[in-house]
Structure 1
Amino acid sequence: MVAYQDFVALSQSRDSEERGQAAHLAAMAYLNHYGPADEHAALYAALIGFLDDPSVRVRGALAYGLLHAVEAPRPILLALLQDSPVIARAVVQYSPALVDADLMALIRGADEAMLMATATRERLSQRVAEALVASGGRPLLAKLLDRPDVPFSPAMLRQVADRDGAEDAELRGLLLARDDLPADARLVLVQAVAAVLRRTRMVSGAVAPHRLERLLRDATDTALTAIGEQEAAAGRAPYAAELVDSEFVSTRVMLHAIVQGHVLFFADCVAQLSETPREKVFTLLEHGSRSTLNALFSRCGLSQAVRNMLARLIFHARAADLADDLAARHFVVTALTEELIVEHDGVIPPDLEEAFAYLSEQNVILARRAARGVMSAFAGMTQTEMALPQLEAEARLALPAA
């Protein structure tokens, strides 16, 4: 306990360290006060008096005493926000008593250091976070995007993705790591990654151009349908609707969705193209006959040859786990390719050429993936020797000695 006379002596001392002790004691006593009202009012007046102390050490001790308290008096905190930069930054970074309106008024005229201190507050509202993005530079944006607890509106995330996603790899990675990134913005960033890889000298120098193009196109298509599958599983149909409206959904994309096991996204695309309720499309894809499926795909505007091919692929997919089984995907694509060759006597119709080329491409990709590790696994399971044909030794030429 400290007597009030001793406190007054400390607060009037010529030593700034002693006045700082008095300021801190006054702050602690005010926050933990449980006595009469006049005593509380006297403590409040003492706190205000310390705001005019010429020593930054004293004002800093006052701020430190009030820094983490929700009950800290707002007039004193607002005055400290106008104090020296080190005190103001500490208050804006740590004080829970400040409300959004206080922060918004501060952000409008703050420098980068003050904006960064605001960005490190324990809690930030969407309004404050977006005001910081509008006022600050790239380091501040990176700091905020790296915090998954900081909320952003979908429009703001789309804006950042469109503006910075193509050229800034760090910001692109931070955006892709956020669970609240809208699906269309995620697709934009994936396409930006593919474009960067296409231009990267190390990549383009190590992979033949045609193969690199195939790899990137397959990866982009997989990302497109995987994003669509997540959106469909969450019941968010606008992603598929936006792709259909922007003519992103081609026969290749629909085939890729089925082959990768992204059937929910495929169903969403069919529902949008055919203008058929989503639930009905699911029922038809699971249990519909070939003629029923043909009628559904006809409403999508697909040609007869493409309709028949998709119906066959769906019948194969019903009996296989395409989502997780690479061998099943390879089997289904191989079976469909062979059926198309037999049906058309090896002469693939022009409206199926693109789809057939896609299936042939997938056949190679899936065969490679399915074959990885098979021989090593087999070698670990068997003790028999490899059966090799007996080759007759060829007669060697007898060369004369030099």
Structure 2
Amino acid sequence: MVAYQEFVSLSQSLDSEERGSAAHLSAIAYLNHVGPADEQAALYAALIGFLDDPSVKVRAALAYGLLHSSEAPRPIMLALLHDSAVIARAILQYSPVLIDADLIGLIRTLDLPMLVAVAQRTTMSPRLAAAIMARGHDAVTLRLLRRRDIALGDALLSELATKRVDHAEMRGALLARADLPAAARLVLVHKVGEVLRGARIVKGAVAEERLNRILRDCGDTALSAIGEREALREDGGYISELVASDRVNTRILLHAVVTGHVMFFAACLAELAQTPREKVFGLLEHGSRAALNALLVRCGLGEGVRNLLARLVLHARASDLADDAAARHYVVTALTEELIAEHDGVIPEELEEAFAYLSEQNILLARKAARGVMTAFAGEAGGAMALPGVEPRLALPAA
């Protein structure tokens, strides 16, 4: 312990280093004090006195002693908050005494280094994060977006996705967040597709027609994959919005089943038919052909499309479409051959687009299934049927 007279000597010294030591000791003593109230009051008065010290070193030593404590006196921390920049930045970043009401009023006028300090606080409310992002500094906004501990809220994330859709880093940071609303995620994914379509390196490597086909297929996959996740969460807002904007068509319904997103498919049918999801799930799993047709009638689908989807559902019941590319290939092949046989090779106009889609998918799925078969064959074959081994390369010593 430092004797009282020695403390007085330090606090009245002409040397700022010694006065800083006294300020720091006072802060530690105040925070750890257990005793009479008059002693606590005397320590508090000593802290107040150091606020008026002309040396920034002394005030910084005081701030350092109180910086991380939730028991630090608010008036002193607020006074230090308006001190020199080096002290204020530390208080903004670390002091748990400050609350949103202390900070939000300052956010509008803080310079960039101060905003960065606030953005690095250990805990932050969505309201404070929104106030910081409203300043429009991309570097600070990106820093906050990359923090998974801050629940930014659907409204703020959707607003950022809409306003900053052309900013590549912002798109990446938003897409990396698991709490990004489904509709906002779809907007960003479509923007990524547009950027890829316009990129010279992509246009130079892929023919335009094939590129359009690839991007359209990827866009449909993204739409149904997002819908699958929302369907598992039992959140109908995303799917309701798709139906209301006429984005759920025959191609999307087929694609949902072909890619194994069966929950999204069922949720779309439930929304189109205005029927409880549980009933739709039951019909898709065990319903008769007549019951499936009745459900699809309620969805407002034409006769040709109804028959096509009913057949697809019946085929899908016996296959694992979620993980097995060969099963998907089998189902699409069977469906395509049935259409050709039923209509003697003359596909009705109502089904032309669906038939073209199935033909495209058949090629893609055939390639995927073939790769899987060859990989399995190469791993299991032996003797004369085994693939030739690759001689090991010589390991050269490091130069």
The offset of 1:376, in angstroms, is 4.7
Check the 8 A contact 1:197/1:203 in 2, yes or no: yes
| Alignment partner, residue 375 of structure 1 | 374
Residue of structure 2 equivalent to 1:115 = 115
Query: Does 2:305 correspond to 1:311?
Result: no
Partner of 1:183: 182
**Residues in 2 aligned to 1:79 and 1:136: alpha-carbon distance in whole angstroms:** 28
How does 1:3-402 map onto structure 2 within 5 Å?
3-165=3-165, 167-383=166-382, 385=384
**Does the 8 Å CA contact 1:322/1:329 hold for their aligned counterparts?**
yes
Give 1:385 shift: 4.6
Using the TM superposition, give the Cα deviation of residue 378 of structure 1 relative to its aligned residue in structure 2, in angstroms: 2.0
How far, CA to CA, are the matches of 1:70 and 1:217 in structure 2?
A: 55
Higher mean displacement: 283-292 or 320-329: 283-292
Task: In structure 1, list runs of 5 or more residues that go unmatched.
Answer: 387-402
Which ranges in structure 2 are unaligned for 5 or more consecutive residues? 386-399
Task: Give a deviation string over 1:157-195, Cα, whole Å, max 9, x none.
Answer: 011111112x21111111111111000001111101111
Paired residue secondary structure (2:134)? helix
- What letter matches 2:86 in structure 1? V
Inter-partner Cα distance in structure 1 for 2:380 and 2:230: 42
Could you give the per-residue CA deviations for residues 52-97 of structure 1, whole angstroms, max 9, x where no partner exists? 1111111000000000000000000000010011100000100111
Question: What is the TM-score when the length of structure 2 is the normalising length?
Answer: 0.95
Q: Which amino acid aligns with 1:91?
A: I
Following superposition, the deviation at residue 383 of structure 1 comes to 3.8
Q: TM-score, normalised by structure 1?
A: 0.94
Aligned residue pairs, count = 385
Residues of 2 paired with 1:269 and 1:318: CA distance?
18
Distance 1:384 1:31 in 2: 79
- The answer to whether the 8 Å contact 1:161/1:189 transfers is yes
Q: Which amino acid aligns with 2:329?
A: H
Partner amino acid, structure 1, of 2:310: A
CA distance in 2, matches of 1:188, 1:197: 14
Other structure's SS at 1:314 match: helix
Deviation at 1:380? 4.0
Amino acid at match of 1:268: A
Taking every aligned residue pair, what percent have the same amino acid on both sides?
66
Q: Secondary structure at the match of 2:281?
A: helix
Amino acid of the residue matched to residue 195 of structure 2?
V
Residue aligning to 2:397: none
- Does the aligned pair in 2 maintain the 1:115–1:136 contact within 8 Å? no
CA distance 1:53–1:95, change in 2 (3 Å): same
Quote how far apart the aligned CAs of 1:381 are. 2.8
